[in-house]
Amino acid sequence: MSIEKYVLLNKYPMSKVLAILGELSNGDIDWMIANGSKEKITTNTVLIHEGQPIDALYIVLDGTMKAYVAGVGNQEIGIITSGEILGEMSFVDGRLPSATVKAIENTLILSIPKQKLNEKLEQDVLFSLRFYRAITKFLSTRLRGTVTRFSEHQDLLYQDNYRNDNTEKLTDNSAVAKSRFEALMERLKNS
């Protein structure tokens, strides 16, 4: 699927990947590709188990997954699509995952081992700055979307305005980010 078609079909989720890739440098992306591994997750496979440790940070490259939480009767709390990061909360705060994530179709991910990522963050201050800024923007976007979705006082007009305004703010570097996403996908297809 082309990047333009993806943006048209999933405008809001794409803003997440654009926010992340807009903050990282080409060298950062090169490092992630060189140190990560491409993995195929088949339909109905659980990638992350709630309350169980994970040893990687995941970027969804293609496919769809769902997140659900046992504490609310295994209720679905989100759909995860291309460009989203998984395991970021556990990576940032060191706690166990708060949700289970399962593939609802065959999904392709980039898995970056936590140990390698931690070493890189300790050795490269500028990478660390860009990486944490990208993760912060991503988490903020996810939290705002969740709050809006679960709010008892949802105002659809407000929600649509929020999404449009937020997408514009997140994609200040959208041309660069789109280019990086296309390059990332192309390089991973050929690896």
User: For the whole model, what pTM was predicted?
Assistant: 0.74
Q: Domains in the chain, please, with CATH?
A: 3-189 (2.60.120.10)
What confidence tens digit (pLDDT) does each residue in 92-148 have?
A: 899 999 999 999 999 999 999 999 999 999 999 999 999 999 888 877 777 777 677
User: Mapping DSSP to helix (H, G, I), strand (E, B) and coil, where does residue 122 land?
Assistant: helix
Which of the listed ranges 27-36, 37-46, 72-81 does the model predict with the highest average pLDDT? 37-46
